[in-house]
Structure 1
Amino acid sequence: MALTFHTGEVGVSRAEVTSIVADALRREAFTEALVATYVWGKGKRGTPRGSGPATLQKILAAEGLDVALAAAVTVLHEHGSQEAYAALHQQIPELGPSFFTKFLYFTGKTLPPANGPEPLILDRVLSLRLRSLAVTVGRETGHDPDGSVAAWVWADWNWSPHRYGIYLSFMHAAARQLAGTDSWPSDAAPDLLECALFNSAWEPSS
């Protein structure tokens, strides 16, 4: 069956997508869960280069997609987020980290990892935010005065599983450090920090 797309804006919250993905996972409808997270990611989070309905059609037509998604769900639940990232990294043409980390993030809400931190979204916008922070720290400390190391570490896309693991460690540690401060809720989850960074709503104090 051919996919039909409609233009226009419809607001969908993270809670709603979490519910949709949870229902799809219960039915082992892994591709359905991916589509829900892909469509959500096309909203206010911006439009990564080369993405759109045509790209989604290519992803859905890829051989082995459902098997790869099912394997990643199992790996996430039985092992951890970095391992699940590795299970999807460079496995399906056109399905890059900016989108499959959204799938892992919402999947983790239903099936938390057995070990380590829960998955978070990592896309180009967040990578650029982290690069900016790294440039500032590198310049102030003298360890990376021209920002070249920051640019290499936080490239625009296709981050390695190791880099994703570092990202998760940083985000979860930063969220714990912020908890209870005057500007941060004491019970806030790390995905609030992810959202704040994406929307430029949070800047580190100097």
Structure 2
Amino acid sequence: MLKRRNLSLSGCPLTPWPSALAPASCSGDAGISRAEVAPAVADALRREGFREVLVATYVWGKGKRGTPGGSGPATLHKILAAEGLDAALARAVATWGEHSAKAAYAGLQSLVPEFGPSFYTKFLYFVGKTVPSASGPQPLILDRVLARRVRSLALTVGRETGHDPDGSITSWVWRDRNWSPHRYAVHLSFIHVTARQLAAGGSSSPGASPDLLEYAMFTATRQASG
């Protein structure tokens, strides 16, 4: 089971707030899981409420830091105020449906100030739960934590095979931010292929689905870093 994230809901509410989530006007904390964000996103997409999708996925991704009591609202307000945001989000959803996650990622890259891949991959991940695509693997999240985990694995492989003995190539391609669309596609391929291999091997570990493997990698990295 994927862990719930706690949201601090006190203070001035963010808008447009997805009605399917806990009321933003209530005080205290509220838990929210991926399973609860997904129907909120589906409801918003049916109404073409792309900003609601953005708010729901951003708030979930930030947890307490992304709601009124945390550090994320100012950044989110800047994103919501960006010129052309509605068209960019609508185009990303359409691109995913008509082409691929890689193409949707490429269309959002460096397009909206303050809206980087750590959060627009969360947007794409939840959109992918509702909107079917013509081709390619389902979108998954790629943020700094996951990139560092993949970098750690790639550094080991590079040293053992001799293809990247000093780790310079790996450190560049799996840097902390601004990953290319190709790198995002590599990330998706790695997670999906590994999940299939685990499932085919009858593994009972939480890596039997792409979502859970991604979450396991994220959690392992956070625990390792303290």
Residue in 1 that maps onto 2:13: 4
Task: Output the CA distance in 1 between the equivalents of 2:154 and 2:55.
Answer: 33
Residue in 2 that maps onto 1:17: 37
Fraction of identical pairs, as percent: 66
- Aligned with 1:76 (options 96, 99, 107): 96
1:187 deviates by 9.5
AA aligned to 1:86 is: A
2:111 aligned with 1:91: yes
Task: Output the CA distance in 1 between the equivalents of 2:202 and 2:45.
Answer: 38
Residue in 1 that maps onto 2:146: 126
Task: Output the CA distance in 2 between the equivalents of 1:191 and 1:32.
Answer: 22
Write the mapping of 1:152-191 to structure 2, written as runs, cut at 5 A. 152-181=172-201, 183-184=203-204, 188-191=208-211
Task: Output the CA distance in 1 between the equivalents of 2:48 and 2:193.
Answer: 33
Deviates more, 1:18-27 or 1:171-180: 171-180
CA displacement 1:99-130 (0-9 Å, x = unmatched) = 00000000000002210101000011000000
1:43 deviates by 2.0
Give the TM-score of the pair, scaled to structure 2.
Answer: 0.80
Task: Output the CA distance in 2 between the equivalents of 1:27 and 1:83.
Answer: 23
Alignment gaps of 5+ in structure 2: 1-11, 15-23, 222-226
Q: Secondary structure at the match of 1:173?
A: helix
1:9 deviates by 3.9
Task: Output the CA distance in 2 between the equivalents of 1:133 and 1:186.
Answer: 18
1:10 deviates by 2.4
Residue in 2 that maps onto 1:105: 125
The question of whether the paired residues in 2 share the 8 Å contact of 1:180 and 1:186 is answered with: no
Task: Output the CA distance in 2 between the equivalents of 1:102 and 1:27.
Answer: 20
Residue in 1 that maps onto 2:52: 32
1:154 deviates by 0.2
Give the TM-score of the pair, scaled to structure 1.
Answer: 0.87
Alignment gaps of 5+ in structure 1: 202-206
Structure 1 segments of 4+ aligned residues over 6 angstroms from their partners:
none
Deviates more, 1:145-154 or 1:29-38: 145-154
Task: Output the CA distance in 1 between the equivalents of 2:101 and 2:130.
Answer: 13
Cα pair distance change 1:156/1:8, threshold 3 Å: farther
When the two chains are superposed, the root-mean-square deviation of aligned CA atoms in Å is 2.2
